């Protein structure tokens, strides 16, 4: 075949892709179903854009196709093994390529890199990738380097020919240098650090004394500004003001003259902000490590106040470290027993929570060491790490009985079981219905849906635990108001605990009600300041929120960190052809909806009164997002038709899967989908809305304990939290949820303590339907959620609800078709 050994890997992939028929079994015709998408992506991407990790993934995948390759004249043994390990979290091509005159970014589902914000990219169904806006071509190479994504040679050549436009111009006007540029917040922050700068509101221009020319020259080079001939002719003037670290209020205050490197470093400090009035960078005490690094790297002078604040901030760092701790040498007297002991990281979680309540562990007992403040704790451990037992341990350690547990209805029996297992002799009462009185008990378990009817009937209580506390993310909902009233019944010395593996489902403001329930909102300056500081969802704001949460009341560990023996999760897409008859119905419905939405968007654009195409485009997008709820029925129609179209393929896939004698958890959104799986494969074993708690638990026990029960059918909202289904390591999504949390929670029914295998989430997606758009948008939305809950730093912004994104995407498709 005439290719070198170095390219034999690529040649082998091409050979199999050319013969691939997409079958799910090893039929000797190219890749089998689970590998077909990945293999075809590899074949369509230039080899130089694969990257070392992708080469390693391809090499591993080809191991199962040795016989086919041999028949094609290729020996797998002759293919050089890549000198890299495959990515452990996601599988798929990560590359930037030029196709059909467009710069396309290809990333796998579950990848943390997201080109939507920084590259203004949109998902293109036909290209199976993200199309980069031409206005952002100048940023592609930098973004690729930051995220470790390979770029094909043809894409590089194309991008190299794109003219690089200057960001602005600097001219000499009398005694001042005048800065002219389009508004850019990063540039404004940089200009503000130049000594003597001032802003003229009448001309909207920045003026800098010409004596600062040396600093200005460096600025122009860093930000690609051009200098006028007169400005270039100015002689250099030595200006050297070293950085200083001061104190303003309870924050560090950093002072230095313009330096792009210093500005970049300070910007990366979570919570840092420029104060125009003070002409200082303010950095919160939670960033003391970053401030010390700044001090050491740049020999910054420390004021006496700054030295004192650094010393005081060390205790804050201890608390932040404890919020991610993996072990603590503590016990809870009277909790657990033979066969029931807290795991190491669970002990650490309890220790952090007790410290937040002003308790210390002394001589085998818990003692309060400071006056109670009423503040509680939010345990945000990833799903499957045993938050239930940590919540019960805190109630027992503080003897906060009577206590009330509030949880989803499907988890009430689980809480009753766990409480009786871990706390000997406890009297548990499960509250049901909406009438009657509550008897005396140590622990009351009630679901959110009926809390309003019972909250005033409980006797004086000493503690509360809200399980899946993101259920109260909407502060105006009745369940949230009832939860607040319940929390207000707990005395200042009582125990307040929220539990949620996904405390932020869509946006950080959802934390506000949870913080109110555990009496911690005032620690963030109250509701107004919280909205102002964290409502923007910027990367720095989210990172600061995570750090501040950890320093006050939030413990969060992930399975990959504390359960290293628990295998990872793997996501894999199963793209299927829809039934022709149903797809005909789907395409007609989609065309009608797109036409209606496109006409509506044009109308909204005109009504906005905007006088440019760009302003009109922005206006109709904003208006359409605001009215997204009005059009949910249209989106739901497309979603249901896409599910209907895949039913035949789903039946075949499940039947083939069961040939492997493995168990399967199948999730659907609509009732008819769940019923289909239940009737055909699960012998009626299912969990969905309307099924009683007793029947749900019976279905779980049957699936977990019976070798003959291979499938359980589940509805995403009804079975997405609390349940343990570790008898299976494969989760099939016949339909997707609306948020990343929907998907993650569902998969984590299997990816929990007790799982001995890697867990695969199979996303069955109907080709050329809204399924593909939803999958792409869920991944885009996943980034902002990770920022707030895990403190992950990226440049992406939260750009609205899933429904709004889908509507805008449909209109964009309609506009492109009409042009």
* Cα 429 from Cα 436, distance rounded (Å): 13
pLDDT at 709 over 60: yes
Stronger pLDDT, 761 or 189, i.e. the higher one: 761
Angle at 231 between CA 228 and CA 234, to 5 degrees: 150
pLDDT at 248 over 80: yes
Angle at 419 between CA 413 and CA 420, to 5 degrees: 95
The pLDDT value given to residue 2: 41
The pLDDT value given to residue 799: 38
CATH class for the domain made up of 647-799: alpha beta
Judge contact between 462 and 490, C-beta under 8 A.
Answer: yes
Judge contact between 673 and 735, C-beta under 8 A.
Answer: yes
> Which class for 618: exposed (0-12), middle (13-18), buried (19 or more C-beta within 10 A)?
middle
Digit-coded pLDDT (tens) for 593-605: 999 899 888 888 8
Digit-coded pLDDT (tens) for 477-528: 999 999 999 999 999 999 999 999 888 877 888 999 999 999 999 998 899 9
The pLDDT value given to residue 565: 59
pLDDT at 253 over 90: yes
> Which class for 366: exposed (0-12), middle (13-18), buried (19 or more C-beta within 10 A)?
buried
The pLDDT value given to residue 538: 66
Average pLDDT over residues 261-271: 85
Shortest CA distance to 673 belongs to which of 640, 704, 697, 721?
Answer: 640
Shortest CA distance to 372 belongs to which of 547, 495, 290, 257?
Answer: 495
* Cα 316 from Cα 310, distance rounded (Å): 10
pLDDT at 104 over 90: yes
CB-based contacts of 431, cutoff 8 Å, min separation 6: 438, 444, 445, 446, 447, 450, 454
For the residues of 596-640, what is the DSSP string, one character each? HHHHHHHHHHHHHT--SHHHHHHHHHHHHHHTGGGGHHHHHHHHH
Average pLDDT over residues 643-663: 82
* Cα 814 from Cα 624, distance rounded (Å): 14
For the residues of 265-309, what is the DSSP string, one character each? HHHTSTT-EEETTTTEEEEEGGGHHHHHHHHHHHT-EE-HHHHHH
Q: Which residues pair with 520 in a beta bridge?
A: none
* Cα 794 from Cα 612, distance rounded (Å): 32
* Cα 116 from Cα 426, distance rounded (Å): 52
Shortest CA distance to 788 belongs to which of 780, 798, 778, 779?
Answer: 798
Within 10 angstroms of residue 705's Cβ, the number of other Cβ atoms is 9
Position of tokens 């319940």? Answer: 486
CB-based contacts of 293, cutoff 8 Å, min separation 6: none
- β-strand 198-200 against 205-209: which pairing, if any? antiparallel
| Tokens found for residue 242 | 């070293």
Shortest CA distance to 59 belongs to which of 71, 73, 72, 74?
Answer: 74
Stronger pLDDT, 410 or 696, i.e. the higher one: 696
The pLDDT value given to residue 745: 87
Judge contact between 575 and 311, C-beta under 8 A.
Answer: no
pTM: 0.57
* Cα 268 from Cα 541, distance rounded (Å): 10
pLDDT at 24 over 80: no
pLDDT at 41 over 90: no
Q: Tell me the C-alpha to C-alpha distance, in Å, between residue 627 and each of 381, 620, 809.
A: 35, 11, 15
Judge contact between 784 and 798, C-beta under 8 A.
Answer: yes
| Tokens found for residue 456 | 């005033």
Superfamily of segment(s) 344-562: Tandem AAA-ATPase domain (3.40.50.10810)
pLDDT at 107 over 90: no
Average pLDDT over residues 418-427: 93
Judge contact between 68 and 57, C-beta under 8 A.
Answer: no
Three-class SS string for 684-738?
A: CCEECCCCCHHHHHHHHHHHHHCCCCCEEEEEHHHHCCCCCCCCCCEEEECCCCC
What integer best gives the mean pLDDT of the chain? 85
For the residues of 333-392, what is the DSSP string, one character each? TTB-BTTB---HHHHHHHHHHHHHTTEEEETTEEEE-S------EEE-PPTTS-HHHHHH
* Cα 104 from Cα 121, distance rounded (Å): 9
Angle at 181 between CA 175 and CA 183, to 5 degrees: 125
- The continuous run of DSSP H or E covering 10 comes out as helix 8-17
pLDDT at 779 over 60: yes
CB-based contacts of 500, cutoff 8 Å, min separation 6: 378, 379, 380, 387, 467, 468, 469, 470, 514
- β-strand 129-131 against 102-106: which pairing, if any? antiparallel
Domain ranges of the chain: 5-160, 168-232, 244-322, 344-562, 579-639+813-818, 647-799
For the residues of 24-87, what is the DSSP string, one character each? SS--SSSS-HHHHHHHHHHHHS-GGGS-HHHHHHHHHHHGGGHHHHHHTT--GGGSPPPSSPPP
* Cα 5 from Cα 284, distance rounded (Å): 55
- The continuous run of DSSP H or E covering 794 comes out as none
Judge contact between 807 and 774, C-beta under 8 A.
Answer: no
Average pLDDT over residues 542-561: 84
CB-based contacts of 85, cutoff 8 Å, min separation 6: 53, 56
Digit-coded pLDDT (tens) for 298-325: 888 888 888 888 877 777 778 888 888 8
- Could you give the count of Cα atoms lying within 13 Å of 580 in the half-sphere of its Cβ? 0
| Tokens found for residue 212 | 């600062």
Minimum mean pLDDT range among 538-542, 556-560, 619-623:
538-542
Within 10 angstroms of residue 680's Cβ, the number of other Cβ atoms is 15
Within 10 angstroms of residue 612's Cβ, the number of other Cβ atoms is 8
Average pLDDT over residues 99-128: 80
Banded pLDDT at 82 (limits 50, 70, 90): confident
Domains 168-232 and 344-562 share a fold: no
Position of tokens 């995407």? Answer: 809
168-232: which CATH number, 3.30.1490, 1.10.3470, 3.40.1170, 3.30.930?
A: 3.40.1170
Shortest CA distance to 383 belongs to which of 740, 729, 739, 721?
Answer: 721
Shortest CA distance to 196 belongs to which of 180, 175, 217, 181?
Answer: 175
* Cα 580 from Cα 599, distance rounded (Å): 28
Judge contact between 182 and 164, C-beta under 8 A.
Answer: no
pLDDT at 351 over 90: yes
Average pLDDT over residues 8-21: 82
């Amino acid at each position: 075949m005439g290719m070198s050994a170095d390219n034999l890997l690529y040649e082998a992939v091409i050979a199999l892709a050319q013969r691939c028929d997409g079958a799910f079994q090893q039929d000797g015709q190219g890749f089998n179903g689970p590998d077909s998408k990945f293999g075809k992506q590899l074949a369509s991407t230039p080899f130089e854009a694969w990257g070392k990790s992708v080469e390693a993934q391809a090499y591993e995948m080809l191991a199962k196709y040795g016989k086919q390759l041999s028949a094609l004249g290729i020996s797998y043994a002759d293919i050089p093994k890549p000198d890299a390990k495959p990515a452990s979290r996601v599988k798929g091509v990560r590359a930037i390529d030029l196709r059909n005159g467009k710069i396309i970014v290809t990333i796998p589902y579950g990848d943390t890199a997201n080109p939507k914000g920084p590259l203004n990219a949109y998902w293109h169904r036909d290209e199976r990738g993200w199309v980069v806006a031409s206005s952002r071509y100048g940023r592609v190479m930098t973004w690729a380097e930051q995220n470790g994504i390979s770029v094909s040679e043809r894409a590089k050549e194309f991008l190299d020919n794109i003219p690089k436009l200057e960001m602005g111009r600097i001219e000499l006007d009398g005694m001042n240098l005048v800065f002219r540029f389009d508004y850019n917040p990063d540039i404004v922050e940089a200009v503000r650090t130049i000594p003597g700068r001032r802003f003229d509101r009448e001309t909207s221009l920045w003026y800098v004394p010409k004596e600062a020319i040396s600093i200005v020259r460096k600025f122009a080079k860093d930000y690609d500004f051009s200098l006028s001939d007169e400005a270039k002719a100015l002689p250099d003037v030595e200006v050297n003001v070293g950085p200083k670290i001061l104190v303003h209020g309870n924050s560090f205050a950093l002072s230095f003259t313009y330096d792009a490197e210093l500005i970049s470093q300070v910007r990366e400090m979570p919570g840092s902000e420029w104060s125009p009035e003070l002409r200082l960078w303010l950095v919160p005490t939670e960033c003391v490590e970053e401030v010390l690094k700044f001090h050491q790297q740049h020999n910054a002078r420390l004021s006496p106040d700054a030295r004192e604040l650094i010393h005081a901030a060390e205790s804050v760092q201890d608390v932040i470290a404890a919020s991610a701790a993996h072990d603590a040498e503590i016990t809870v007297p009277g909790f657990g027993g033979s066969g029931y002991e807290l795991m190491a990281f669970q002990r650490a979680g309890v220790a952090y929570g007790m410290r937040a309540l002003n308790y210390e562990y002394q001589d085998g007992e818990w003692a309060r060491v400071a006056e109670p403040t009423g503040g509680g704790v939010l345990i945000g451990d990833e799903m499957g790490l045993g938050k239930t037992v940590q919540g019960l341990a805190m109630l027992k350690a503080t003897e906060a009985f009577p206590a009330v547990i509030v949880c989803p209805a499907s988890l009430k029996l689980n809480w009753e079981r766990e409480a009786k297992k871990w706390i000997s002799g406890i009297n548990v009462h499960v509250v049901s219905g909406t009438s009657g009185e509550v008897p005396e008990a140590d622990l009351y378990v009630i679901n959110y849906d009926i809390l309003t009817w019972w909250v005033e009937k409980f006797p004086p209580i000493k503690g509360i635990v809200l399980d899946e506390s993101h259920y109260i993310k909407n502060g105006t909902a009745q369940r949230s108001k009832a939860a607040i009233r319940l929390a207000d019944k707990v005395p200042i010395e009582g125990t307040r605990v929220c539990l949620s593996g996904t405390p932020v489902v869509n946006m950080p403001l959802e934390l506000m009600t949870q913080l109110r329930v555990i009496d911690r909102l005032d620690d963030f300056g109250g509701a107004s300041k919280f909205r102002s500081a964290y409502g923007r969802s910027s990367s720095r704001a989210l990172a600061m929120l995570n750090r501040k949460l950890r320093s006050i009341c939030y413990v969060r560990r992930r399975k990959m960190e504390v359960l290293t023996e628990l295998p990872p999760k793997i996501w894999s897409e199963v793209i299927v052809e829809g039934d022709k008859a149903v797809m005909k119905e789907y395409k007609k419905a989609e065309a009608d909806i797109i036409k209606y939405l496109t006409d509506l968007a044009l109308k909204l654009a005109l009504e906005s009164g905007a006088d440019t195409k760009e302003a009109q485009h922005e206006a109709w997008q904003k208006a359409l997002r605001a009215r997204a709820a009005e059009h949910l029925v249209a989106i739901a129609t497309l979603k249901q038709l896409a599910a209907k179209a895949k039913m035949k393929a789903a039946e075949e896939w499940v039947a083939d899967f069961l040939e492997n004698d493995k168990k399967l958890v199948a999730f659907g959104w609509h009732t008819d989908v769940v019923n289909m799986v239940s009737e055909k494969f699960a012998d009626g074993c299912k969990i969905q809305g309307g099924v009683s708690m007793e029947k749900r638990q019976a279905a779980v026990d049957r699936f977990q304990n019976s070798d003959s029960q291979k499938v359980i059918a589940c509805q995403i909202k009804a079975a997405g939290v609390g349940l343990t289904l570790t008898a299976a390591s494969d989760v099939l999504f016949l339909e997707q949820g609306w948020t990343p949390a929907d998907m993650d929670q569902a998969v984590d029914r299997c990816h929990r303590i007790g799982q001995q295998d890697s867990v695969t989430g199979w996303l069955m997606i109907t080709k050329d339907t809204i399924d593909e758009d939803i999958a792409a948008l869920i991944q885009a939305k996943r980034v902002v959620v990770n920022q707030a809950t895990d403190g992950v730093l990226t440049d992406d912004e939260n750009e609205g609800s899933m429904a709004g994104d889908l509507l805008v995407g449909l209109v964009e498709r309609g506009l492109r078709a009409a042009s």
